[in-house]
Amino acid sequence: MTLKITSESCSEENSLTEDEIRLDRSRANFILRRKIRGMAGRKRLGSLWMVLHPVMLSLVYLFVFTVIRSNPNSVNIFIGISMFNIFSSSIKSGVNSVSDFSGGIKGERVRTRVVTRAMLNYRMVDVLLQSSGVSVILVLFLEVEIIGVMCFICLCAILGIMAELFALNLSLAVRRVPDISNFIDYALMLMFFGSPVLYPMSMTDGLHRTINEYNPFSFFVEAARKFVEVESVIDEILGLEAFVILLIIGILSVRGYYTLDRLRWEVSSWS
């Protein structure tokens, strides 16, 4: 394998050998395990907190709404909060993706394909953990059909991956101007209360509803609610404009994926 290094990129001239492919696979698995260990930290329950967090948060909001007698729908709250947690964590992960361009392997150059593979694998693990606890509650206690829960998990996976890849487009700007990350946090906080997370979109009207008709998160959460057979307006908002928005998000997600190598090069000590 021959490297061609210029001021703009570091590309490989020859195809990878079987040993190099196997080594890349081992590196990706190492990065994945490192991320999981980092997420668990010193907590005794470790990664189980990823399962418990959306469940506990949903129960807290369900309790609050019950106390103020707003007659909440439990399924709506569990679906909305779990999907928004996945969306929020994916956005933050994508934005901070180039904070460690080595993947934690300091002794050698790690190919971008290794980093992206580990990133996508971790995102799938994150999605499955965050949606699994809610899925069990939906099936065992809220009498949701298994096919509906499976569709919910699939939508969570698509949402998580697209959100992280989309956020890669912002990672270089955040690297150069760290203050932008604060604005992203505030935007996510506003989005939590403004989007149909704690309530179905059918409860919105006027400008509030109009904004959510252009909100990509609304398409995913309302589609999930339709699959689990609760109140949903996905048939009303999923028109030409929604498809155009999803197409643009998809294109930017693909762009984020293919520009990760250039982003790593620009923030590395070689540039």
pLDDT tens for 134-189 read 999 999 999 999 999 999 999 999 999 999 999 999 988 888 898 999 999 999 99
**Is residue 87's pLDDT more than 70?**
yes
Q: How far apart are CA 84 and CA 11, in angstroms?
A: 37
In degrees and rounded to multiples of 5, residue 5 shows phi and psi of -105, 125
Give the torsion sign (CA, 151, 114, 54, 141). Answer: positive
CB-based contact 91:170 (threshold 8 Å): no
**Is residue 231's pLDDT more than 90?**
yes
More confident residue, 43 or 48: 48
The terminus-to-terminus CA distance of the chain in angstroms comes to: 21
pLDDT by residue (tens digit) across 106-125? Answer: 545 677 788 888 889 999 99
Query: Which of 213, 95, 220 has its CA nearest to residue 156?
Result: 220
Domain ranges (residues) in the chain: 22-267
pTM: 0.87
